Amino acid sequence: MSIVYDTLIQYLPAKRKTTPSGWTSFNAPCCIHNGDSADKRQRGGLISNADDGVSYHCFNCGFKASWQQGRNLSGKMRKLLQWLNTPDDIINKLALTVMQENEGFTITQQLVELPKFNTVPLPDDAVKIADITDFSKYSMSVLEYMSVRGLNLDDTDYYWSPSLGYRDRLIIPFYYEKRIVGWTARTVQADKQPKYMSEQQPGFVYGLDEQGYNKVFCIVCEGPMDAIHIDGVALLGSEIKDQQAMLINKVDKQIIVVPDRDEAGSKLIDQAIELGWSVSLPEWSDDINDIGDAVAKYGRLYTLYSIVNNAESNELKIRLRSKKWLSGLKK
């Protein structure tokens, strides 16, 4: 038996039975999370495979999760463990133990823990744009940039600073548990470098505070402005870090990744599949490279609809769609 199977058995309901074929049957915890009524007929099945892997199949709502030696813990297996009321620290330790066994290195206790973020100050003299009553040419240029990008003052707390180096930048604060733990300042000048000046802590995911209980999906994208448009979360890059994956999995919703239409986006698709997350590759026109472009062309409502409507969790279908999605990349 494997450590994954042993952990699952430990948190299964007390009322369960073992069939002659080796399946352990119990009331499936997944049905109520997938739009069905609670299982009362022990339609959940768990079995240890010959290669010490483990498979779960719900014969009621159809949810499946599996793990095999040499693979990391998938997003679906994490969900199953969460639905069985396995503590988050146990799930994280299990995931990292499996990773350690796969990759042959020692993981420190610090990596097991979820990231902790310190409160940080915004740039000097930063003020909420919504509170400005007397606009200068600099603050007005930021407001005009927001209009062009389709950003509304009531989306989030946008800031501006008159300080040298920041007065032609839109400042977006990073919140975690209602505290400011970072920020990014985006230039509004087309040819100015650097495009972004940021204060960012390792493992941070933008927008987690907004993923409330009333939401069914958690949409993951790369940049904060894209996340603002569709009320999702942003990786602040094109790679999913381990600590970011832990934080996103904790929201306990269907996770939908929307990659940018570039080479980095292709790698993000691979990571999403590995984590067991859904991927959305909407049938947008070839001139659209990211969510921001889609919003500019189609509007927020249709962009969000197209993302949710094209979410796919089947690996083969994702791979096939991604070929078409990325076919227009410039060589």
- Counting every residue written for the chain, the total comes to 331
- For residues 57 and 64, the answer to whether their CB atoms sit within 8 Å is yes
Cα distances from 86 to residues 3, 248, 250, in angstroms, run: 14, 17, 12
Q: For residue range 129-154, what is the model confidence (pLDDT) as tens digits?
A: 999 999 999 999 999 999 999 999 99
| pLDDT at residue 113, as a whole number | 61
Spatial CA neighbour of 160 closest among 129, 130, 184, 182: 129
Q: Is the pLDDT of residue 103 over 70?
A: no
Cβ atoms of residues 183 and 171 within 8 Å = yes
pTM, full prediction: 0.71
pLDDT in tens, 252-296: 788 999 999 998 899 999 999 888 889 999 999 999 999 999 999
Contact 226, 140 (CB under 8 A): no
278 φ/ψ angles, rounded to the nearest 5 degrees: -75, 155
State the pLDDT at residue 67.
Answer: 87
Question: Residue 293 carries which side chain, given as an amino acid letter?
Answer: D
pLDDT at 69: 82
CA 185 to chain centre: 22
Q: How far is CA 270 from CA 28, 233, 242, 251, in A?
A: 29, 18, 14, 21
CA distance 46 to 264: 37
- CATH code linked to domain 208-325: 3.40.1360.10
**Structure confidence at residue 104 (pLDDT):** 59
Query: Which pLDDT score, from 0 to 100, does residue 303 have?
Result: 96
| Model pLDDT for residues 149-199, shown as the tens digit of each residue | 999 999 999 999 999 999 999 999 999 999 999 999 999 998 888 999 999
What is residue 218's three-state secondary structure? strand
Residue with tokens 């969460």: 82
With a CB cutoff of 8 Å and minimum separation 6, the contacts of 19 are: 25
**Where do the structural domains in the chain lie, given as residue ranges?**
3-112, 127-199, 208-325
**Residue written as tokens 């209009």?**
147
Residue 329: the pLDDT is 61
